[in-house]
Amino acid sequence: MKTLQKITLVIGLIALFASCQTKTDVKQVLSNLDTRKEIMDTIANNSDMSKEMIVILMNSKKDMMLMMENHGTMMKMMQDNPDMMQKMMSDMMEKCKSDTAMMSTMCKTMMGSKEMMNMMEKMKSEKMDMKGKKSMKGMKM
């Protein structure tokens, strides 16, 4: 009887150690649609994780193009998460400083958009109005 207990104990310990040392296969975990969706939802609902994901996506030209193709989805995400939008815009501006082709493409795209040009004109005039008010502040009438 004691021999049976020892054998069972050894088998149990081996099984325990074997189960503790399994390495999770990322591709296998992500192949499950529900698990993948839960992971993405977790990232999307955590601003720190979202920022990390954006940095990773922004550093890949292929992913950057994919994000530009899915413009509507990206706009919705940015509206729902202003911190993410600010981080993404900052990262794009930094990327443009070192990638002149990307900067040229972005400028051409913005200049080709009537809405964007109107908004930039409006912002420019508001900035000029603010400068005028500041310089008028020091004058006595």
Q: What is the pLDDT of residues 6-48, one digit of tens each?
A: 788 778 777 777 676 666 778 888 888 998 889 988 988 888 8
What's residue 141's pLDDT? 46
- By the 10 Å C-beta count (0-12 exposed, 13-18 middle, 19+ buried), 88 is classed as buried
Supply 88's token pair. 């993404």
Is the pLDDT at 70 greater than 80, yes or no? no
Q: How many residues does the chain have?
A: 141
Q: What percent of the chain has pLDDT over 90?
A: 1
CA 37 – CA 32 distance, rounded (Å)? 9
Residue 1 pLDDT grade (very low, low, confident, very high; cuts 50, 70, 90): low
Residue-wise pLDDT tens digits, 104-120: 888 888 888 888 888 88
CA 96 – CA 58 distance, rounded (Å)? 11
